[in-house]
Chain A
Amino acid sequence: MSDHNYVPESKVGKWFNDRLPLLSLGAHLREYPTPKNLNYWWTFGGILTFCLITQIVTGIVLAMHYVAHADLAFESVEKIMRDVNYGWLIRYIHSNGASMFFLAVYIHIFRSLFYGSYKSPRELIWIIGMIIYILMMAAAFMGYVLPWGQMSFWGATVITNLFSAIPLVGESIVTWLWGGYSVDNPTLNRFFSLHYLIPFLILGLVVLHIWALHVPGNNNPVGIDIKKPSKDTVPFHPYITVKDIFALLMFMIIFAGFVFFSPNVLGHSDNYIPANPMVTPAHIVPEWYLLPFYAILRSVPDKLGGVLLMFGALFVLIILPWLDTSKIRSAVFRPLYRQFFWILVIDVLALGYLGAMPAEGTYLFLARVSTVYYFLHFLVILPVLGFLEKTDPLPASISEPVLTGGLSTSAAKSDDIK
């Protein structure tokens, strides 16, 4: 990389950098050679960093007013909403921020799926990303428990009971998770502790995620290896920073739209009823971002089977780099994969919709079909496709189709995707 020989101009800078090369790191991040053809789907990394920081900052502030006790939690959240100066704003940013975080992470993941960003040599970036995603779900779930409303309580009950499906030790694990014989004050207390911890674990993993990214460099819409630095790359700053900031501003408009105009539309009104261990709400649904997994859980008529399949849905994602046998990264040059990609998108959206509907009749049947297709995509279609598919020819470099004037169909398609 070009910044290995970086020498600060000032004497103080040089003195500092010789002892701790933070300025070299800064120079590396500024000059980091980035493919010049990155489209707006590549701006979600920056957006996600913004989401993480927003959640941490608003979360630390909320923790100054929140009381993690079964008798006081609900009241303290209401106090935040009504009495604390700007408490309503900070809490609405935090609760909607979770949804925005997942919206961005889903786009980021599907970007990766479309352009094959998980393939060699970027498998570790993908796996670290999946661990981050799983930790995000854990953090979101525990955060949802903290207001101690009806949905909090019963969501906690249902999710922790998933572990009771484990043969022999399941019940002991659940009792251990609860710290009692039901979800109660000890459960709330430890969830608060872990909810505070996980974002910092995520932050650490984000550093590893970016570190692992900076070794091979970014994938790009064409999906071919590029020389760096070369005429195929631009320095990260100012070219990518400006593009990222523009995309972030667009994203923040949507974010602010939720916070200021419909802050509760993504939540469930039952969570404004204090937790009651005697009554389960009639329709218990998780937050929208967990619905596809919930649909998979419910589509199996067996307890252990449902739980295994739900965790299996995550596991196939983790081993995805070895399930996809095609050497071609970008779907732009994979005419068949491109179609299966969009079918998968529809399938996951369908699972999300079906997860919110009652598990009976046609809904249940469709949920089962969608579940089967989800696994079919990863376990059968992707491995087989690599051998059967006749891929389109790759350009020799990013610059080739642009600079030679003869715009190949592939490059035109990559423009369409923007």
Chain B
Amino acid sequence: MSKQEDKKNRRDFLFTASYTVGAVGLGATIWPLIHQMNPDESVKALATTEVDVSQVAPGKSITVLWRGKPVFIKRRTPEEIAEVRAVDLKDLKDPQKDEDRAKNPEWLVMLGVCTHLGCVPLADKGDFKGWFCPCHGSHYDGSGRIRKGPAPVNMEIPEYEFVDSNTIKIG
């Protein structure tokens, strides 16, 4: 290897090393400016809510706010349960058994947020005895599963548990 080539290689190495260090430095500088927009710890800390459901009569539902979003808590009648469990999975856009959506069949706990563009669907409306989103016309059934309209998936089931028979902890 001639002396000149040696010098050239050394220079190439220095260039590549400088660019790399520069790129890492730039990335490390930009990341805080991007990440500051993500939810902070205080927002994340508010992520559970306990709800007393003793006053909810069969066939009725309540709406509570969790992480800034409405959660529908519906106490279903035996007929309503039987109806949604009789649905053929082939008729569903996002096939999911009601058994997998409601641990306790009497209680349906789900995010009251349309999976299309985030509006709050109206209860007891639509073609499938469930919910209807007024924004862009998505129809959900009594299990909150998408049946018709632009929404891609069923309404989301949040993490929740029964603390006792009258209290649900969401989140």
Contact = CB atoms under 8 A, between A and B. Distances in A.
B120 interface: yes
B67 A190 contact: no
B134 A282 contact: yes
17 contacts: A154-B119, A157-B118, A158-B118, A162-B117, A175-B38, A175-B39, A176-B37, A179-B38, A180-B43, A181-B43, A181-B68, A181-B69, A182-B67, A182-B68, A277-B120, A280-B120, A283-B134
Contact of B150 (A177, A180, A186, A302): A302
A158 to B, nearest CB: 4
A186 B44 CA distance: 13
Given A176-B37, A279-B120, A359 B137 contact: yes
B136 interface: yes
Contacts of A283: 134
Contact of A157 (B47, B65, B117): B117
Interface in A335-383: 358-360
B45 to A, nearest CB: 12
A249 B115 CA distance: 48
A282 B65 CA distance: 20
Given A176-B38, A181-B69, A306 B119 contact: no
A215 interface: no
B152 interface: yes
Q: Which 9 A-B pairs have the closest CB atoms?
A: A182-B68, A181-B67, A161-B118, A161-B117, A280-B119, A158-B117, A280-B120, A157-B118, A303-B152
A62 interface: no
Contacts of B151: 303
A321 to B, nearest CB: 33
A158 B152 contact: no
Contacts of B34: 176
Interface string B19-61: 0000000000000001001111001000100000000000000
Contact of B152 (A184, A302, A359): A302
Interface of B: 34, 37-40, 43, 47, 63, 65, 67-70, 115-121, 133-137, 149-152
A104 interface: no
B119 A284 contact: yes
Select the residue from B34, B69, B118, B149 with max chain A CB neighbours within 10 A: B118
A277 B119 CA distance: 9
Contacts of A300: 150
Interface string A176-204: 11111111101000100000000000000
A180 B40 CA distance: 8
A334 interface: no
A278 B65 contact: yes
Nearest to B120: A280
Contacts of B117: 157-158, 161-162, 164, 303
Contacts of B120: 277-280
A359 B135 CA distance: 9
Contacts of B152: 302-304
Nearest to A70: B68
A181 B39 contact: yes
A304 to B, nearest CB: 8
Given A178-B39, A181-B68, A358-B137, 13 more contacts: A157-B118, A157-B119, A158-B117, A179-B40, A180-B67, A181-B43, A182-B67, A186-B37, A277-B70, A302-B150, A303-B151, A306-B150, A359-B136
Nearest to A306: B150
